[in-house]
Structures are given as C-alpha cells and as structure tokens.
DNA sequence: TATGAATGAGGTTTCATTCAT
DNA sequence: GATGAATGAAACCTCATTCAT
C-alpha cells in the first residue's frame, strides 16, 4: 500500500509529459493533466510544488528517457566510421521526432521551447541540448577537416543537419495539412534517416572541398 | 491629418505583430498588445472584432508584407538557372527567419503555429505555406530528374532545405543560449544563404546520382 | 434636406420598437437598434438622450399608435350593448397581442414589463394600462350588477378576461413550441375573439347569478 | 457536519432561484447571485459549470419542488369529478403564481421565459409545461364533449384557463401598481381559485352548449 | 446633423494555488 | 497521501456613453 504514493506521482508525470509536449507549457492546465491522470488537482502541488516545477520534472524525465532509449550514438562504439555514427545520430533524432509516446516527448518539448521559451529554457539548453549538439559537432569535424575545422563551419553544418531532423518534430496538424497523404510517421524513420544522411554527406562533401580546396591554393 | 483613427488601427496591428510573433497566440494578451500600442483594450474589439480576428489580420499583414518585400523568387526571372533560383529562395527564407522587424514576423508566426496550432492554421497553410513549398518543389524537380521525379523524393528534399532555414527562425533566446557568440543575426543572411545553398546542392547531387544511376543500370 | 433629421429619428424609433418589444429592455443593445436603422450609435444619444429615454419614447409611440389604430371601443358608440362592447374590447386586445408589426409592439412591451419591470413601469401603468383596465371594468359592471357591483368582483373578472388575451402575447417561440401546428397568428384574431367573448359571457353569467342570487336570498 | 461543500451549493442554488425568477436570465448576474449566497464568483463555475447550466439546475429544482409540493392533481384521485379536479388544478396554479418563496419560483421563471426565451426553453416546454397543459386538457375533454372534442376547442379553453392563472404570476410591481390595495397575495389563492373555477365552468358550459347544440341540430 | 473614435465599467469564465480535513 | 472546497487574479468580451470634428 505504500506504492500508491509513488504510483500517483508517476501517473501525474506521465500525464504531464503528454499534455505539455502536445500543447506547450502555457496552454496546458493543471486541471487537464490531473484529469488525464485521474488525480486530484491539489496533488500536483503536493508532489511537485507548482506548475513550473512539474514542467522541470517532465523535462528531466523526458531527457533521461530519451538518452537511455534512443541515444544519439545508437549503441555504436567510438571506433565506428564517422559516416555510420552520423547515420546513427540522424536515425535517433528522427525516431525522437516522429514517435508519439514517451520517446517523442523530448523532441516535442524542444519544439515548444523553440517557439515559446520558458524560464526553464537556460538549464534545458545547457544540460540537454548542447551535449547533443557537441556530439554531432564531433562527428562533423571528422567528416570535414579534422580538429582544424573552422568552428563556424561546424556550427553551420550542424544546424543544417539538426534543422532537417527538427522540422519533422513540428506538430502533426501542420505537417498533415501541408503534406496530406505523404505525411510521415514513425515507420518512415528508417527511410528518412537514409535520405537525410545521404543528403548531408553530399552536402558535407562539397563543403569540405571548398575548405581544403581553398586551403591548398 | 489627425493621428486618430487609421493610425490607431495601424499601431494596434503593428503591436500585435510583435507580440503574437514573439509569444504565440495563447500567451499573448490583448492587454499587452494594447498597452504597447498605447490604446484602450476595447479598441481591439472595435477595430478587429476579437482576438482571433486580430490574429487573422496579423497573418494577412505579415504574409502580404513578406511576399512583397522578400519574395522567394528574389526578383529573378523564370529563365534564371535553377541553382540561382534556389539560392534566391534560400536567401529570402533566411532574411525572413533572421530579421527582427516586420520582415521577420511571418517566419516567427510560422514557428509558433508549428508548436501550437490555432484554428487559423488550416487557411494559413493553404494560402501562405503551400504556395511557397510548391515554389521550392518546382526548382527541385529541375535539379533532380525533371517532371518525372518521384514526388516523395521532391518532398524529402524540400523538407531538407526548408528545415535548414526554419531552424534559424526559432526564437532568439534558444539560439543565443546554445550558440553564444556565434549566434546569427540578419547580417549573416548572405553568408548562411551561401552555405545552405552549397550544402543543399551537394546533397541534391548525390540524391540525383542515386536516382538516375539506379535507373540507368 | 431638413427632412433627414426627422427621418433618422423616426427610423431609430421604429427600429427601437421592434428590438425592444422582441427582446425587452435589457437584452436590447443600442448597437443593434442603430444597425437595424442604418444609423450611427451616437445618434440615439443625440436624439433621445440615453437608452432609457429612448425606451420611454418607444412606449409613448406604441401607446399612441395602438390607441389610434386599435382602440378598445372598436369604434362602437357608448350606446352599443355591453356584450358588443366586450366583444370589441376583446377583439382589439387580441389584434394587439397577435400582430407582429407596429400594432403588436404595445402588447409585447407589456409582456416584457410584466416579466422585467423597468423604471418606466410606474408611468406606463398609470398612463396606458389603467385606463384600459377601467374601460373593461365599466363594461363588466354593466354585465354584472351595475354600479353596485363589488369592486373586488369586477377586478377578478377583469383579470379573467385580460389574462385570456395577454397569454396570447407571450413570445411566439414559447407558444409555437407548446402548441406546434395549432399555434395562432393574426388571422385567428376573429375566431379567438368569438371564443373568448363567448367563454367570458358564460363565466360572467354564472358570477352574476351567484351575486344576485345571494343578494335576493 | 461542516457547513461547507453541499451547503454552499445549496445556498447558491437557492440564491439563483430568487435572482433568476425575479430578474430573468439576462438581467441576473453571477456576481449578484454569489453575493446573496455569500460565495465567491468562481464557485458557480466550480459547482455548476457556467451560468447557463446553473439556470438549468434552477429550472430542474423549481420543477421538482413544485411538482412535489404543489401538484396539479392536488392529491385527488382520478375518480374525483372533473369539476373537482379542475378546481384542484386551478388552485395549484394559483398557489404557484402567488407564492413568494420556493413554491413561486416555477411560475415566475415561466413568465420570464414567456418574455425572454433562453436556449433552455425547448426542454422546459417539453419536460415541464406540456405535461401540465395535457393534464388540464384531459379534464377539459371530460367537461366538454369527451374524447370526440375538437382539439382546437380544447386548446382554446385550456388557454382561457391558464391565462387567467398566469396573469397573476406577473411580477408583483406591475400588479401592485395597477391594483393598489386590491392586489393579491398568497392568502387570496383560495378565493381566487373559487372565482376562476366558477368563471371557467360557466364559460365551458356555454362552449359545450355551442358544440353539442350545433351537433344535435 | 452626423460620424468614427475612444473609454471605462461590468460581466463571464478560466486557472493556479491554498487550506482544512 | 489524498480530497473537495474555496479564493483571487487575470483574461476576454460587450456595451452605453462621450467627444472632437
């Protein structure tokens, strides 16, 4: 019987993940979260303090979950080829972007924050987003000109790649209205990962040519 | 001659453009919009009917403004090369994404809708977003395999390109926290347009190889 | 061109008659009245002072109109039989109750006041309603026991008759929902006047029997 | 044991009965209802959802109360004479019309709806008003020509009787201004019921003569 | 005489939060 | 741990009225 407490807390957290990631912080109401969890409205404050702290807890949960279930290295060792590791990272980002359950929470929260930043934003960027950007950056340096690569170029290429992935995390209503039958779902992650990896390797190839070509002259 | 009347309406519209594009529909309050415009709260109702209709007016204004001041064809004729037209379209999207004034309103509203769609979404997509997607699609077909190109491939490449541009329209706080000194501003539009165009042409080259190479064999 | 003034005033008054009699004082808005009249909102205050004074003017207009077009004596001389004069009064009240245009305004305003009295109520009762009640009362005294009739009995019978007429002035939605196909319209005034007169003469006969029978014993 | 909870809901309902039946739906404000109940304005939403639902609850309450405390059959069995049952129905309607407390709420709400129908009107007519009209109609058929009676005649006579009762439910201010000392109160219900029953039986007698006399000839 | 603009008050509703039990 | 009740702030909207022209 001591489990009821933990259990209710978990139900609230799960419900909050769904609601916050779908509607964003401000459109979400504590009432809706509690109703979906079958819990009393006062319990959010009991377990989490207030709405903002619940939001923090949701972020932490989503980050831990996705880092564990859907890591950017895809299980590959550091010795795998840069191409393979890029494919793994793209694939992971796409699974995050296209999933609807727990796996998708993180990417959708990110889209929400990119539109409407909350006070939580700073720590989110520091703890969750920058490490992933650095991970991609490391792979890109290998694919470009090694450690000597101009950091500005790395940043540009990183944004090129993350942009291709993040646009797919935009809310389903927009995408399905725009794309109609051709909208994507989680099953398309493999195919899209192939496309984006190939497209990006092509792009990176040209960028590297420009760099090293310019350097040799 | 008097500063009343049309002037107040314009001030309200301008203020609403700023507030809506920065905070999104739901977080924006009529009170804040009117305060910034130096107008009574009831005037939104007087001039626009209600909050939703004001939002519609803001979209229309932003769309007209950006279509006029920052068109995707960049003033190029239809006979220009596909590469040049792609560069023009990317350049236009980047100026929209990175500008802070009226030019930037449209892209920021789009990011807001991708996170928190409103009831206005459907007509926005139909009237404003799809034509632009089609414009890019037309250029891409030329760069790939002509009118025979698999529509699915065109869609994927279009998303690759729009994704690279849209990620830059994410709210400034997120970007500057992540990128620090290397964050971009409107002055970087030229350089970034060069990068994204080059990167994308590299990607498209590989994609076309895969298509036509596969077909010829 | 000096006619525009009077003309606008008249249009406002007419429009106000329709709106006030349909919705009552409080649900009616100056905006709706002016819109129906094709006039600016400020003109009500210009011509009538404020909403309450417009309402007063409407009452006066409706009372004068109905007194002239639909008098309770129906054009009969004082020498006509009491039965004929009762029929005329009932007929007039029914035409007022069932008409939809100017003729119907007075009765509908009365129903509104009976539900939601306004500050105008007192003068309305004194100037418009009591004279009519007295007119009916006079006829009834003739049909009962002459001038000796107990005033309480006259009042009771007067209410019996006016009640039968006024219930037909209740708003059309209620009646048509309740009565369905058998709801009444202005064309039924003749038939209903016959019914109510016959019914009431029957009732008055019994009441007189009770009075005079009791007196003789 | 605490006075909170159910008690507050009841206080709100009671207060709403008073305010709605006195002023009608549109003139009544949630603020006034809550103030009279000593409750916070948000509690209407908490207990009833919104103003319209509170109004529904008031109707239901008033209907149940009056059906229980003041039924049209007055406790008489179906075998009682039609005259006695008519007297009971008239007596019940008058007690409803003249009472000031809970018993009077129903009739006063009805007068309000007859002047300013709300969206609730349709269900009110169906659930509360039509059954009562049918009850009277049944008695009238017995007093006229049995089941063969022309339904139109039954309707006319029913309106004659209900009209005599409903006019007494008109708001007190109107009546007392018109009648002065002779205005009625709940204590007059007995006497008025006698008058209206006698008056109506007289009227019905004549109507029946007209029907059956005409038929026999 | 007429108009459009502007204002302030008041009404309904929503919501995060707190409290007593 | 959990609940229902209660609160106050804030948001949107409506409307009568006033003002300058």
pLDDT tens digits for range A71-120: 999 999 999 999 999 999 999 999 999 998 899 999 999 999 988 889 88
- B42-97 pLDDT, tens digit each: 999 999 999 999 999 999 999 999 999 999 999 999 999 999 999 999 999 999 99
CB proximity C119–strand E (7 Å threshold): no
Residue B119 domain-assigned (yes or no) = yes
Q: Which chains touch A (3 or more CB pairs under 8 A)?
A: B
Task: Please count the structural domains in chain C.
Answer: 1
Does the pLDDT at position C4 exceed 90? no
Distance CA D123, CA D132 (A): 14
Q: Can you give the distance from the CA of residue A170 to the C1' of nucleotide F1 in angstroms?
A: 39
- Is the pLDDT confidence value at D3 over 80? no
The helix-helix angle for D130-143 and D189-216 (nearest 10°) equals 50
State both tokens at B123: 């007509």
Q: Higher model confidence: residue D75 or residue D215? A: D75
- Cβ within 7 Å of strand F: which of A 29-88? 39-43, 46
Identify whether D31 is part of a domain: no
Task: Give D206 to chain C, closest Cα distance, Å.
Answer: 6
Asked, for residue B3, whether it belongs to a domain, the answer is: no
Asked whether A116 and A28 are in contact (CB, 8 A), the reply is: no
Q: Do A199 and B182 touch (CB under 8 A)?
A: no
Mean pLDDT of B7-17: 97
pLDDT over 70 at A131, yes or no: yes
Locate the chain A residue with the closest alpha carbon to B201.
Answer: A203
Residue A4 forms part of a structural domain? no
Q: Which of C36, C72, C59 is nearest to C109 (CA)?
A: C59
A-B CB pairs within 8 A amount to: 157
Q: pLDDT band for position C217 (50/70/90)?
A: very low
Alpha-carbon torsion angle B61, B62, B67, B69, nearest 10? 100
Q: Does D44 contact strand E, using a CB cutoff of 7 Å?
A: yes
- Taking 60 as the threshold, does the pLDDT of residue C2 lie above it? no
Tell me which residue range forms the domain holding D80.
59-212
Closest among A118, A128, A116, A129 to A51, alpha carbons compared = A118
Q: Which residue of C has its CA nearest to D195?
A: C156
CATH number of the domain within which B161 lies: 1.10.357.10
Rounded distance, CA D203 to CA C165, Å?
15
Chain D residue with minimum CA distance to C165? D163
Structure tokens at D8: 């507050």
State, as a whole number of angstroms, the distance between the CA of C36 and the C1' of E18: 50
Q: Residue C155: which residues within 8 A CB-CB, separation 6 or more?
A: C137, D179, D182
pLDDT digits (tens, 9 = 90+) for B15-31: 999 999 999 999 999 99
Q: What is the pLDDT of residues C138-193, one digit of tens each?
A: 999 999 988 999 999 999 999 999 999 999 998 778 888 888 888 888 899 999 99
Is the Cβ pair A199, B192 closer than 8 Å?
Answer: no
Question: Does D contact C via 3+ CB–CB distances below 8 Å?
Answer: yes
Contact B174, A125 (CB under 8 A): yes
Mean pLDDT along residues A125-143 = 95
Q: What is the CA A48 to C1' F1 distance in angstroms? A: 14
Q: Which among A27, A178, A202 is the nearest to B129, CB-wise?
A: A178
**Region for residue A24 given its phi and psi (left: phi exceeds 0; alpha: psi -120 to 50; beta: otherwise):** left
Question: How far is Cα B118 from Cα B122, in angstroms, rounded to an integer?
Answer: 9
Q: How far apart are CA A16 and CA A29, in angstroms?
A: 9
CB pair distance less than 8 Å for C114 and D117: no
Distance D48 CA to F7 C1' (A): 17
Cβ atoms A124, A113 nearer than 8 A = yes
Residue C146 lies in a domain: yes
C81 CB closer than 7 A to any strand E atom? no
What residue of A is the nearest CA neighbor of B167?
A: A163
Residue B21 lies in a domain: no
Instruction: Give the integer Cα–Cα distance in Å for C145 and D83.
Output: 26
Say whether the A–C interface has 3 or more Cβ pairs within 8 Å.
no
Do D199 and C160 make contact, defined as CB atoms within 8 angstroms? yes
**CA of A191 vs chain B CAs: smallest distance (Å):** 10
Whether residue A12 lies inside any domain: the answer is no
Q: Please report whether residue B155 resides in a domain.
A: yes
Tens of pLDDT, residues D65-114: 999 999 999 999 999 999 999 999 999 999 999 998 899 999 999 999 98
Q: Residue D4 CA to F4 C1' — how many Å? A: 10
Residue nearest to nucleotide F19 (CA to C1'): C42
Q: Is there a contact between A128 and A60 (Cβ–Cβ < 8 Å)? A: no
Contact A178 B125 (CB under 8 A): yes
Selected for mutation to probe chain B from A108, A120, A156 (highest B CB count within 10 Å) is A156
Chain D positions touching C173 (Cβ under 8 A) are 117, 121
Element (H, E) at B74: none
Q: For residue D1, what pLDDT band results from cuts at 50, 70 and 90?
A: very low
CA of A31 to C1' of E16 (A): 9
To the nearest whole angstrom, how far is the Cα of A11 from the nearest Cα of chain B?
A: 24
Smallest CA–CA distance, residue C203 to chain D, in Å, is: 4
User: Searching chain D, which residue's CA lies closest to the CA of residue C123?
Assistant: D177
- Residue D215 scores a pLDDT above 80: no
Q: Using the beta-carbon criterion (under 8 Å), do A210 and B198 form an inter-chain contact?
A: yes
pLDDT at D47 over 80: yes
A109/chain B closest Cα distance in angstroms: 9
pLDDT at D2: 44
Residues of A within 8 A of B179 (CB-CB) are 155
């Amino acid at each position: 019987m001591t489990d009821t407490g933990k259990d209710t807390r978990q139900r609230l957290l799960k419900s909050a993940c769904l609601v916050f990631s779908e509607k964003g912080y401000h459109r979400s109401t504590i009432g809706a979260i509690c109703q979906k969890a079958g819990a009393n409205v006062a319990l959010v404050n009991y377990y989490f303090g207030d709405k903002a702290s619940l939001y923090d807890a949701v972020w932490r949960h989503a980050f831990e979950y996705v880092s564990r279930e859907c890591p950017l290295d895809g299980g590959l060792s550091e010795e795998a080829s840069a191409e393979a590791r890029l494919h793994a990272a793209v694939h992971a980002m796409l699974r995050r972007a296209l999933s609807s359950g727990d796996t998708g929470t993180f990417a959708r929260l990110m889209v929400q924050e990119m539109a409407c930043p909350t006070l939580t934003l700073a720590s989110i960027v520091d703890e969750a987003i920058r490490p992933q950007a650095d991970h991609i950056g490391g792979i890109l340096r290998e694919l470009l000109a090694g450690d000597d690569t101009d950091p500005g170029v790395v940043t540009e290429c990183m944004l090129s790649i993350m942009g291709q992935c993040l646009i797919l995390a935009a809310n389903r209503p927009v995408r399905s209205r725009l794309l109609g039958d051709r909208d994507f779902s989680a099953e398309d992650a493999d195919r899209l990962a192939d496309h984006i990896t190939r497209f990006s390797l092509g792009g990176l190839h040209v960028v590297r040519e420009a760099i090293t070509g310019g350097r040799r002259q």
